[in-house]
Chain A
Amino acid sequence: MQDIYLDHAATTPLDPRVREAMLPYLDEKYGNPSSFHSTGKIVTDDVRQARESIAQILHVRADEILFTSGGTESDNLAILGHARMNKQFGNHIITTSFEHHAVLEACIRLEKKEGFEVTYIAPDRDGMISVDSIAKALRPETILVSVMYANNEIGTIQPIAEMGNMIQKYREEHNLPHLVFHTDACQATGYLDLNVEKLHVDMLTLNGSKMYGPKGVGLLYVKRGIKLEPLQFGGAQERGIRPGTENVPGIIGMAKALELAQADRVKESSRLEVLRNKLIEGILSTIPRTRLNGDKEQRLPNNVNISFMDIEGEALLLYLDAAGIYVSTGSACTSASLDPSHVILALGFPYEVAHGSMRFSLGHSTTEKDIEFVLKTLPPLVETLRSISPVRVDEKYWM
């Protein structure tokens, strides 16, 4: 049986070219970049080069890149670090109700324990956040706005550049130098433009393991002049803001992965878009009582998120797993809390619709044959689960 991996939004396999680039640093190039001897210096130079290559792709300065352990740490450092450092200038934060938990939980922490006030902007039913809704929430005490570039569950692409522009104007007009704009771009790598100059963001999160790079490494772009309170303390690495011996193989791997993702971006995006549309249209036309979650146009080329009414996502996930198709659900039983997807709920749909949501995220390995196999396999499995379900969700809840 052929395995069909359709969970690239969770993590991607390591690109063999990335692996190749990393290998020397797991072996002969073992030095500590902070050492003064030759063994260390070789590695110092290579890490510097990796940083510069990434900076070039993002259109930023090399000293504006902080290497971290991944997306979660980068998000935490951006939110907690900026808020704690700038509390005297204001205690208000704006984010969205369908952010990744790495942003949401950091905001909740600041709200519950550190005296901050957080405005959670709800997306519309198509999973879009309007520039206007952010503009309306801004006020003189606002020190931070954080909106994800593309949503990890439903793949909707937010108007980050327009938001960045608007925030920049507001900052200048109201003389609020401490107001900054952060975006979590983990899902965007490989598909969207990461040019920070065009995006007008002040901080940006990336994660190695979503771009065919290694796990355990990420970065935070932090615009010059922004001061962050560190989350950990120690040596002078990453300007003392993120101390700890560098994850050298990870950093080298991430730089290589980003370089490859950038080079293939346009071609791979249009290839996947065709497959994505085939999968969406195939499911919606052959399986009754299904809906596409998230805007059809403003959507990552690799994301398909469908709610299958009357059945619970985990059961379908396990049936697909047995057929060799690996997908993901943000619904009830995947999380310890047993709550269904906070993203689908944020769109304004009831629990019943959120419980049946399923994410198929395409990637390098995905072929047209894979999509055809999924379209052939899926309908009878949904049929079986519906036959043992007593539920029939009223159309008014999801149409």
Chain B
Amino acid sequence: MSHKLDPIAGTQGDVASHDQTKSWFYTDIVKEHFFHPKNFMEQDADESQFNAVGKVGSPACGDELRVWMKVDPETERIQEFKWKTFGCGSAIASTSMASEIVTENGGMTLEEARALKPQDIMERLGGLPQRKFHCSVLCDKALRDAINDFYRRENKFDKIVVESARIIDPVSKVTDHDIEEAVLEGAHTLELVQQKTKVGIGNPNCLPAVEELIRFYKEKYFGGK
């Protein structure tokens, strides 16, 4: 279904489209989901209709996303996925696309849904400008939050995956999460990540670990390019 786009991102976080041919920096698919969002929660949520909820972000950081899921307890497949989001065009389109991905073809199992990566959503959208990557990251985080919520309600605590940030540099208190964010915002070298996070400045011992994380997140989000 999804086709490989190369490259996914615009260059240098500018407003060019991924293929550098259109001045509008969103693809037609992004626009379709932005102007006609699918599966959003139209009314105030009646939470009794759902058995899992997830939330990520806050309006202060520019994006807030809430999701409500109805999961079949037997098959653990997602039957319904509703959402509300406060955010820019990319955030709205990414969430709308994610809602289609997890519910199409009978719905994803929670295990499959947990493996959904931001770039899966971006690929289906035909790409996002580089500086918008973080928007699609939010919806897979909200999804995983909702998956944990489902298992919590089902008392399947062994299936809950806790994602806590790990401090990489005890001096600057920079976490792996901070480095992930920096890479997503376009810092692909140690120097750029240091500019954004101050990691390792005054504590160079942690730098090899930082470089390893940068490689890991570049691989994860940008296919190692």
Contacts and interface: CB of A to CB of B under 8 A. Distances in A.
A390 B26 CA distance: 24
A318 B34 contact: yes
A388 B66 contact: no
A352 B60 contact: yes
Interface in A335-355: 336, 338, 340, 350-352, 355
B34 A388 contact: no
Contact of B65 (A314, A336, A350, A390): A390
| Max chain A C-beta neighbours (<10 A), residue from B60, B62, B89, B186 | B62
Given A338-B131, A338-B185, A389 B60 contact: no
A338 B134 contact: yes
A313 B218 CA distance: 29
Nearest to A388: B40
A390 B86 contact: yes
B186 to A, nearest CB: 7
Interface in A303-320: 310-312, 314-315, 318-319
Contacts of B64: 390-391
Contact of B59 (A318, A333, A388, A391): A391
A332 B86 contact: no
A1 interface: no
B51 to A, nearest CB: 19
A393 interface: yes
Given A322-B35, A388-B40, A391-B64, A355 B89 contact: no
A387 interface: yes
Contacts of B18: none
Given A311-B86, A338-B62, A351-B62, A388 B131 contact: no
Given A318-B34, A390-B65, A336 B13 contact: yes
B210 interface: no
Given A315-B92, A338-B134, A390 B85 contact: yes
B62 A355 contact: yes
A387 B36 CA distance: 12
Contacts of B89: 314-315, 318, 333
A336 B133 CA distance: 12
B132 A333 contact: yes
B88 A389 contact: no
A391 B61 contact: no
Contacts of B87: 312, 315
B101 to A, nearest CB: 18
B88 A336 contact: no
Interface string B101-122: 0000000000000000000000
Nearest to B15: A334
Contacts of A311: 86
A312 B132 contact: no
Contacts of B40: 387-388
Contacts of B26: 318
Interface string A286-330: 000000000000000000000000111011001100100000000
A387 B174 CA distance: 37
A314 B40 CA distance: 19
Contacts of B148: none
Contacts of A332: 62, 88
Interface string B148-189: 000000000000000000000000000000000000011000
B84 A389 contact: yes
A351 B59 contact: yes
B42 interface: yes
B123 to A, nearest CB: 21
Contacts of B90: 333
A388 B185 contact: no
A226 to B, nearest CB: 34
Given A312-B87, A315-B88, A336-B186, A388 B37 contact: yes
Contacts of A388: 37, 40-41, 84-85, 92
Given A315-B92, A388-B37, A333 B86 contact: no
Contacts of B85: 388-390
A318 B65 CA distance: 19
A311 B35 CA distance: 15
Nearest to B65: A390
A318 B26 CA distance: 10
A351 B60 contact: yes
A332 B35 CA distance: 20
A390 B66 CA distance: 7
A332 B61 CA distance: 9
A319 B65 CA distance: 20
A310 B86 CA distance: 7
Interface in B70-93: 84-92
B127 to A, nearest CB: 16
Nearest to A335: B131
Contacts of B88: 312, 314-315, 332-333
A11 to B, nearest CB: 16
Interface of A: 310-312, 314-315, 318-319, 322, 331-333, 336, 338, 340, 350-352, 355, 387-391, 393
15 contacts: A310-B86, A312-B87, A314-B89, A315-B87, A315-B88, A319-B35, A332-B62, A333-B62, A333-B88, A333-B132, A388-B37, A388-B40, A388-B84, A389-B86, A390-B65
Given A333-B132, A390-B85, 11 more contacts: A311-B86, A318-B89, A333-B88, A333-B90, A338-B62, A338-B134, A351-B59, A352-B60, A389-B85, A390-B64, A390-B86
